[in-house]
Structures are given as structure tokens and as C-alpha cells.
Structure 1
């Protein structure tokens, strides 16, 4: 919206300038991470602020991608993201549809209990004991099952389903559809913007899985990407590349390369799903 008059133009100029500065402040940490990951050691040590690289070297990435542990962690994270998101969406969609039907007896009590978990949880120790007693320690399922349903996502999906016209559902039932048929033939096709948004929420959460991995995974072969990143950030202060030039890779260079390796895949996916975020902004505000 463009304002007319001198005061309006001054306000627009100030507003755009402020937003541009905020965008620059937000972008710079990522830019600095990228630059540090591709510049030589001496250039990193000689400058405290890194705007543009004078010399580009990919030694850190060559060293990083030669590590078997990185590819193991990629495999674990991809499995957890794909399978975990599929399980989460299956449980969330089916539970949200059931809770959106007012004819379900006791649905208000169930909704109260679900919302209650957002304010009070069992805690870390009971969760750890349950996972241990179920035999899921050092298993990828420990990264999937305990967090299979996000309460917030379930409530958003339930509210969206509740906003769908009852006439469509009644017409489907008259035509002979049971609840499963109504869900898959009517509700899900009409709810693709909401389902796509929640799917992306789950996928990003699974990709960034860290907290459960710290507690439940001690086998390095089962570390997800974020746990591998943690080990690189805190344990590898310096490493040595076996190249003929005797290149020393200082800790920060490898660390920043690891951060980029964990971040870029998600950044490449985001542009394709941006429209779903726009459609999903108002999902949680649907009137019940």
C-alpha cells in the first residue's frame, strides 16, 4: 500500500529502510557462515568480519564429505524425516477428523485432555523410562514414536476439518460412504493446503531432530544429522587434511561447512512450499 503526501512517502521510506536493515541483519549470520566455510585459514584469522572471500577453497567440504559418519547421519535423518512425517500425518489427520465430528461421544473430554498436555507433560525422566522399557533405545524409532503427534498441529488440523461444510459430508454419507471414505474422498482433497502446511511443519521438525537423539541414541552409527553437527561443533577443534599441500583445516572452517551441509537441503526445499505457508497462516484462526 503506497501512501500519498509527503508524510506518507517519508513513512514508506523509513519503513522500507528499516525492513531492509532487519533483512540484512537476519541474512548476515548465514552469509558469514558460508564465507568462513570456503576461505583459507590465514584469511579467516586476519579478518574479524567476512564480507567477500579473497580466495575460495573447498578443502573443508572435501574433508567433510569424505567422512563416513556424515553420510550415515544423512541416511538416518532422511529415514526419520520421510517415515516419521508419514506416520505423524497419518495419526494427526485421522485423529483430527475424529475429533472434528461433534457426534463423537466424549470429544470435548478428549480435546480437554489433549490441550492439557500442552500445559503439563510427564517430563523427561518418565519419557526416558517408557522409551527404555519399550526397547527403543539406540533405535531410529526412538526418534519417531515418542513425538509422533504434535498437539498444536493436531488442534490446527482439527479446527480446519471443523470448518468444512457439513452438507458435503452428509451428501457423501447418503451416497454410501463410511467415515473412512468421507475422510479420504471428501475431507482430505478439500484440505490439501492445511495438510501440506502441517506436513512441512512435521518434516522440518524431523529434519532438525536433536533433543530425543541426545537422550535415546548413543550409537554413533545411528546419530541423526543434527547430532553429528553437534559433535563437529564441540568436539573437533582442528583437523588435518592429508592433501599434498599440507592444508590445516581449523575447527571453525569445518564447523561452518557442517552447518551449511545441514542447512542447505532444507533451504532448497522451502521455495517450493512457500505458497503453502502463505495459505497456512490463517489455518489456526478458523472459527470452530
Structure 2
């Protein structure tokens, strides 16, 4: 099929506009990456560096030598790994229970989950609940209030509804109970949905920020995103000891390169996780949307 000159012109203009939009989108990411690896002396001399003449790892060495940065990274890693597993366990278990029609009070539970999606209580009720549970300055204050999502539960329930009942009936004939059916039949068939929702949970837990500002006052328990925000305000926040502070003074590391290096470190784990789950992601995001 031959295109007319109008169609070719439209395609050309569309390609140019999309190319410009892509460059505008990628330039901040490129600039953050370049500045984080730029030699401190070169950055101090030039100010704006797009193509550094000398690359350096001094900023990363400084950050990775500070106790506060290592501790905050460990807190975020714990939230992203352990809490994602707990969220998937609760979400899949609740969704499987709601997908069984013999569950008593099923409609009332569904209505309660739907209400959590329609009405937002705001900031004060969750804070009062966390305070009354004595979870202030406790890592569980960042976990329990967001342990599951009503939207994810309904989507996963739709996926469980699409699984043929004959599989469960065959398992029960072989002597399986509800727990065995869920562990041996349902979960292995749900790997695409678990991968997709696990990625969503991991990103949310890794980027925990506002709830940490509300519930965590002790510096040692704050996640990486809070420390990064403090660094953007004051680069000296990252100094975790006299050795690190001495390194910063000796190398004359600009605060801007430290900030960019911290941003790169904070975003790298999630960027690396996406390709690993890509094979399940495209299928998993559609679970519960249609029924065969």
C-alpha cells in the first residue's frame, strides 16, 4: 500500500515531534547520570557538564562509606523485599477467599473493600490509628496501613474466578483442603499476576516517603527516600561518620554530584527489576479484566 504525500508528511512530523518529546524526557535522566560520574574538580570548574572529560566514582565511594546512607538503603530494601512478600500473601489469600462462592459474608466483605476504594479517610484517622497501636517510630507503621490494596484484591479475584472449577474439584478428590488448593494449584497458576502486583508493591515500598515523614521520627529508621530528600536540602545529611566527612573535605566533592549519585542509586534497583519481570508483566497487568 502506497502512502500519499500527506500521509508521509504526517508520519515525518509525528516522528520529529515524538523524537523531541523523547529527548526532553530522557535529558534529565542523562544529566543526573553524567553529573554523578563527573570528576568533582571538573564539575566545580565548569558547572554545567554534558560530556565529562574525566569520569570519577568519588561521589559513589563517599555515599557508600557513610553509615546513614547504608542504613537507609537497608531499610528501603527490607520494605521492598519482605513487605512485598507479605502484601502478596495477604492479597492473594484474600482474593482467593472472596472468589469462593461458599464463603459466608462474601458480599459484605466485597462491599467493605469497595468502600475503601471510594472513600479516602485523609491523614488524621490513619495517624490516630497508628498512634493508638503504639507504632510511631516502628517500621510496621510503614507496612500495616498499606499491607494490601482493594483494587489489587478485586483484580486478582477476577483472575481466580477465571480458573476452571474443575481444577479445584480434582484437587479435592485427591484429598486437598482449601489451603492445599491455594498453595499447590492457585498460586502456581497465578505467577503472572503475582509478578505484576509484586512489582507494583515493590515500587511503592521502595519509594515510601510521605508515610515515613509522618510516622518515623528516628533518623536510624528512615528509608532511603527520606534521606534523599534531606540530602536535596542539605548534602551534609549524608555524612555518617568522621571518615566519610574527611573524604568529602579532602576530595572537595560538590553537593550536587552527591545528590545525583544518590538519585542514581535510589532508582537503579527498580530499573533493574523491570526487565526481569517483563515476561510476566504484560500478561499480569490484564488479570481480572476479561473472562474467557
Please, what TM-score do these two structures have when normalized by structure 2? 0.87
Q: Indicate the residue corresponding to 2:95 in structure 1.
A: 96
Task: Tell me if structure 2 keeps the 8 A contact 1:115–1:151.
Answer: yes
Q: Indicate the residue corresponding to 1:228 in structure 2.
A: 227
Q: Give the paired residue count.
A: 286
Where 1:30 maps in the other structure, the secondary structure is helix
Q: Indicate the residue corresponding to 1:81 in structure 2.
A: 80
| CA drift at 1:67 | 1.1
| CA drift at 1:268 | 1.9
Q: Quick one: distance in 2 between partners of 1:111 and 1:196?
A: 24
Change (3 A) 1:166 1:30: same
Task: Tell me if structure 2 keeps the 8 A contact 1:76–1:223.
Answer: yes
Q: Indicate the residue corresponding to 2:257 in structure 1.
A: 253
Q: Indicate the residue corresponding to 1:5 in structure 2.
A: 3
| CA drift at 1:50 | 4.3
Where 1:268 maps in the other structure, the secondary structure is helix
Where 2:53 maps in the other structure, the secondary structure is coil
| CA drift at 1:94 | 0.6
Q: Indicate the residue corresponding to 1:272 in structure 2.
A: 276
Q: Quick one: distance in 2 between partners of 1:284 and 1:46?
A: 56
Q: Indicate the residue corresponding to 1:150 in structure 2.
A: 149
Task: Tell me if structure 2 keeps the 8 A contact 1:229–1:259.
Answer: yes
| CA drift at 1:183 | 0.9
Q: Which fold has the larger relative contact order, with Cα–Cα distance below 8 Å and residues 6 or more apart in sequence?
A: 2
Q: Quick one: distance in 2 between partners of 1:154 and 1:49?
A: 48
**Deviation per residue, 1:58-91 (Å, 9 max, x gap):** 2222222221101101111111222211111111
Where 1:121 maps in the other structure, the secondary structure is coil
Q: Quick one: distance in 1 between partners of 2:107 and 2:247?
A: 66
Where 1:146 maps in the other structure, the secondary structure is helix
Q: Indicate the residue corresponding to 1:110 in structure 2.
A: 109
List gaps (5 residues or longer) in structure 1.
Answer: none
Q: Does 1:219 align with 2:218?
A: yes
Please, what TM-score do these two structures have when normalized by structure 1? 0.88
Where 2:253 maps in the other structure, the secondary structure is strand
Within 5 Å, which residues of 2 pair with 1:164-243?
Answer: 164-236=163-235, 242-243=246-247
| CA drift at 1:216 | 0.7
Q: Which moved more, 1:210-219 or 1:234-243?
A: 234-243
Q: Quick one: distance in 2 between partners of 1:224 and 1:215?
A: 12
Where 1:195 maps in the other structure, the secondary structure is helix
Task: Tell me if structure 2 keeps the 8 A contact 1:138–1:217.
Answer: yes
Q: Quick one: distance in 1 between partners of 2:107 and 2:268?
A: 43
Task: Tell me if structure 2 keeps the 8 A contact 1:209–1:224.
Answer: yes
Q: Quick one: distance in 2 between partners of 1:272 and 1:163?
A: 26
Q: Quick one: distance in 2 between partners of 1:124 and 1:148?
A: 17
Change (3 A) 1:60 1:163: same
Task: Tell me if structure 1 keeps the 8 A contact 2:87–2:148.
Answer: yes
Q: Quick one: distance in 2 between partners of 1:63 and 1:35?
A: 17
Change (3 A) 1:102 1:50: farther
Where 1:53 maps in the other structure, the secondary structure is coil
Q: CA RMSD in A?
A: 2.6
Q: Which moved more, 1:54-63 or 1:255-264?
A: 54-63
Q: Quick one: distance in 1 between partners of 2:146 and 2:247?
A: 44
Q: Quick one: distance in 2 between partners of 1:74 and 1:48?
A: 29
Q: Quick one: distance in 2 between partners of 1:24 and 1:65?
A: 31
| CA drift at 1:55 | 2.5
Task: Tell me if structure 1 keeps the 8 A contact 2:209–2:223.
Answer: yes
